[in-house]
Amino acid sequence: MSGPGELLLQNGELETRGGIGLLYYAKERLGDCQIRVVFKPTQKEDNSGVYIRIADRPTDPWIGVNRGYEIQIDNNGDSHHRTGCLYSLTEAKNSVDAKLGEWNTFLITLDGPRTVVELNGAVITDYTEGQPVPAKKVWYEPERGIRPNEGYFGLQNHGDPARVRFKEVSVRPLR
């Protein structure tokens, strides 16, 4: 875990608490795989994310933002800042909200330079490294640039009062 936030384990679920933070899988970098993440937003204002393709071991949570991609969990953003988008980089192909108080499923496919994100079966993002992205508008949006085909994976704690829960993360190789 990096940053002041935390993900607390309660009744077999991880729940976001505190300030911004990044809980990451340190054993290996993931590439050419499918990642399944089951999560539950608990209130309309919830904000969190799933990090992929993080180039280096995160020593602070902003490394996940600027050296990886954040798959957004937030039903309140515009078409570049909403659930299932690569935060501020890709526009939602389908506008699908995560269901509040219910379990939702991301299926994230990393296939070489291509990233596909599905939310509850609907494709939200289909992005290949090098495709055009909008210019950075505010300081907290990620740095632009190519991400590696393999990288660290993590879960974001955005900060209070958000309370997003995670109950499953599973990975399977594509080949």
The pLDDT tens digits of the residues spanning 71-129 come to 999 999 999 999 999 999 999 999 999 999 999 999 999 999 999 999 999 999 999 99
pLDDT surpasses 90 at 16: yes
pLDDT digit string, tens, across residues 130-161? 999 999 999 999 999 999 999 999 999 998 89
Model pLDDT, residue 156:
96
Give the angle 77-79-161 at the CA atoms, nearest 5°.
15
Model pLDDT, residue 160:
87
* Distance of alpha carbon 94 from alpha carbon 124, whole angstroms: 5
Q: Where are the domains of the chain?
A: 6-173
Please list, residue by residue across 90-115, b when 16 or more beta carbons sit within 10 angstroms of its beta carbon and e when fewer do: bbbbeebbbeeeeebebebbbeeeeb
Fold of the 6-173 domain: Jelly Rolls (2.60.120)
Beta strands in the chain (DSSP E): 6-10, 13-17, 21-30, 33-40, 48-54, 69-73, 104-111, 114-119, 122-128, 151-157, 165-173
Indicate if the alpha-carbon torsion angle 146, 90, 81, 35 is positive or negative.
Answer: negative
Q: Which two tokens stand for residue 134?
A: 């909008």
Model pLDDT, residue 159:
85
Q: Which two tokens stand for residue 82?
A: 């909403």
- Would you say the pTM of this structure is higher than 0.95? yes
Nearest Cα to 84, choosing from 52, 129, 44, 132? 52
Residues 161, 169, 71, 50: what is their CA dihedral angle, to the nearest 10 degrees? 50
